[in-house]
Amino acid sequence: MLRKLLAITLFCCVSSAHASLINFTGNIAFHNDVVQINFSVAEDTENVRVWTDSHLGGENFDPITALWDGAGNLLDENDDDAAINPDTQTIFDSGFILPFLAAGDYIFTVATYSNFAIGDTLADGFAYDSEESIALSEWCQPANDCNEGTFWSVWLDGVTDADAPEQVAVPAPASALLILTSGILLLRRRT
């Protein structure tokens, strides 16, 4: 009896390791920041969900989400879909319910409205990549139809694992020059 109970407990623990509910949160600084979350599923899986729940009815920015395969090919992009988890999402939150997802690696990105992907691959970039970075609080005005809250929250349900998010910011030209100059001065000081 004890062996049977141990076998059932071990099976349950191993089975639950294949599908996790994972949450990541953070803040963005600029209108052209993109949050990138890499995740994987170990085996062909049904009913995977990935979504945001951070808009909070207008308290934070309107998220644009995209799903990419591990090679960076665009699978889908979404602006508004609060039906993925109606208990916590509000009207402008977005994400995907995936009835079937093949085993492999994937990427989920979050950007501000209307920083949509501009091509079929992640390498093609996003609409605002070529623009000088503008603080979200300055960029958000009625003309840009956004809110200035910088908080984001992403949930992944049914995935095997996920890496800590990367925030891909496109540095403003002046900022990049300042960073380069500071680095050179620091190196000169050490020698």
Gap between the terminal Cα atoms of the chain = 71
Distance of alpha carbon 127 from alpha carbon 109, whole angstroms: 14
pLDDT of residue 5: 32
Distance of alpha carbon 23 from alpha carbon 50, whole angstroms: 10
pTM: 0.78
DSSP type of residue 132: P
Distance of alpha carbon 80 from alpha carbon 129, whole angstroms: 22
State both tokens at 103. Answer: 């085993």
pLDDT of residue 159: 96
- In DSSP notation, 68-115 reads EETT-BEEEEES--TTSSTTT--TT--EEEEEEE-SEEEEEEEEETT-
Distance of alpha carbon 81 from alpha carbon 95, whole angstroms: 6
**pLDDT 10s per residue in the chain (191 long)?**
433 333 333 333 333 345 679 999 999 999 999 999 999 999 999 999 999 999 999 899 999 999 999 999 999 999 999 999 999 999 999 999 999 999 999 999 999 999 999 999 999 999 999 999 999 888 877 666 677 799 999 999 999 999 989 766 554 444 444 444 444 444 444 45
Contact between residue 89 and residue 82 where contact means Cβ atoms under 8 Å apart: yes
Contact between residue 50 and residue 64 where contact means Cβ atoms under 8 Å apart: no
pLDDT of residue 167: 66
Distance of alpha carbon 164 from alpha carbon 113, whole angstroms: 23
**Strands of 113-150, DSSP E:** none
Distance of alpha carbon 97 from alpha carbon 137, whole angstroms: 31
| Domain 19-186, CATH number (from 2.60.120.620, 2.60.120.380, 3.40.50.300, 3.10.590.10) | 2.60.120.380
Nearest 5°: the CA angle 63, 64, 66 is 135
